[in-house]
Amino acid sequence: MAEVSKPRRTLFGSERARDEALTAYLFLSPYLLVTLVFTIGVLLFAVYVSFTEFNLFTWPPTWVGLENYKEALTDRRFIRSLVNAVWYVIIVVPAQTTLALFLAVLINSKVRGSNFYRSIYYAPSVTSSVVISLIFWWLYLKTGYLNFGITEALGAVGREWAAIEWLNDPRGLFQLLLGPFGVEISFDLWYLRGPSITWMAIMFQNIFTTAPTFMIMFLAALQDVPPTLYEASAIDGANRRHRFFRITIPMLPPVILFIVVLGTIGTWQVFDQIKILTSGGPLNTTLTPVYLIYVEALGTSGPPRMGFAGAMAFFLAVIIFVFTLIQRRYIESGTEAY
């Protein structure tokens, strides 16, 4: 009696599945190769460099172990940059998220010309950050349009305005608020002075340019809210405020989490505005971790220190990761109900 041949088993279950998988990997191979070399490979090399003393001109790097990480934890400029970044996150993320939601609700209303306003509001987001920074630089000059506009507005009501050097004023927010009450905060206690005038000016620029991007995301989420919920609430006598806080907001936790996480990552990584407008000044009040990493890695103010820069970069990555986990825990709670 002839033996019945059993079908040959392969790793993919069948020859057809194997051929389909090989074809898929063949199409993916360019992307996988680029990711392997320029993302994973560069990341692993950065990890190695962070444990060495490497200045771009000598090879091989000198192994120093955890010395770069110890130095980063005690470096005054790095700590100052982290404090500046924390102020940036605390002020910019809530402000740009709130403004984006307000603009999205406004545009989502059935009003004439909403498409035109949508385009106008979104324009700053598609403009180069370098161009936007130069525009704000002109606005913030001591003889610029901002001081001129405030002077004219106050002059109309009989008040005077002393022009401010918006991009060169290290006075802190708490210093300005407590000064009229006779409370002076010395420059040695910089961590008690609050964000400087220059830092807040850059914050305003960032809010202006990033809120429209998040506005589009909120707008897409608002258009997915079932209209029947608003109709039923209107029948029950709910006004606009009730509908906003009891229907709209509870339907948006997923997109709010997404926007807050993106905003947080972006604020921790702010660089181009600092490079163009202030270079970390005045008195390091606008120094950020990414700009400091750039300065140390390329040696723009001294010898290149790639290892030290790599250690600071990994500290920054850990901080962003922790902030993201905290936001995910507190914002995403209750999302499953929707």
Task: Name the residue with tokens 């001294």.
Answer: 302
35 contacts: CB under 8 Å, gap ≥ 6:
none
The tens place of each residue's pLDDT in the chain, 338 residues long, gives 455 555 555 566 677 788 888 888 889 888 889 888 888 888 898 899 999 998 777 778 889 989 999 999 999 999 999 999 999 999 999 999 999 999 898 888 777 777 787 788 888 888 888 899 999 999 999 888 899 998 888 888 888 888 889 999 999 999 888 888 888 888 788 888 999 999 999 999 999 999 999 999 999 898 888 888 888 888 888 888 888 888 888 888 889 888 998 999 999 999 999 999 999 989 999 999 999 999 998 888 778 889 999 999 999 999 999 888 887 777 666 545 44
Closest alpha carbon to 259 in 94, 28, 78, 87: 94
Q: Compute how many other C-beta atoms are within 10 angstroms of the C-beta atom of residue 164.
A: 17
**284 Rama sector, left if φ>0, alpha if ψ -120 to 50, beta otherwise:** left
Q: Could you give phi then psi for residue 230, rounded to 5 degrees?
A: -70, -40
Q: Which two tokens stand for residue 66?
A: 């955890």
pLDDT of residue 316: 93
pLDDT of residue 13: 65
For the chain, give percent helix, strand, coil, nearest 5.
70, 0, 30
What does the alpha-carbon distance between residue 206 and residue 74 come to, in Å, rounded to a whole number? Answer: 29
CB 195, CB 173: distance < 8 Å = yes
Helical (H) or strand (E) element with 278: none
What does the alpha-carbon distance between residue 35 and residue 48 come to, in Å, rounded to a whole number? Answer: 18
Give the DSSP per-residue string, 52-108: EE--SSSSSPEE-TTHHHHHHHH-HHHHHHHHHHHHHHHHHHHHHHHHHHHHHHHHH
What does the alpha-carbon distance between residue 256 and residue 243 come to, in Å, rounded to a whole number? Answer: 18
Helix (H, G, I), strand (E, B) or coil at 171: coil
Q: Which two tokens stand for residue 82?
A: 């982290």
Q: Could you give phi then psi for residue 52, rounded to 5 degrees?
A: -130, 170
pLDDT of residue 338: 46
Q: How many residues does the chain have?
A: 338
What does the alpha-carbon distance between residue 240 and residue 130 come to, in Å, rounded to a whole number? Answer: 40
CB 258, CB 217: distance < 8 Å = yes
Closest alpha carbon to 89 in 268, 225, 247: 268
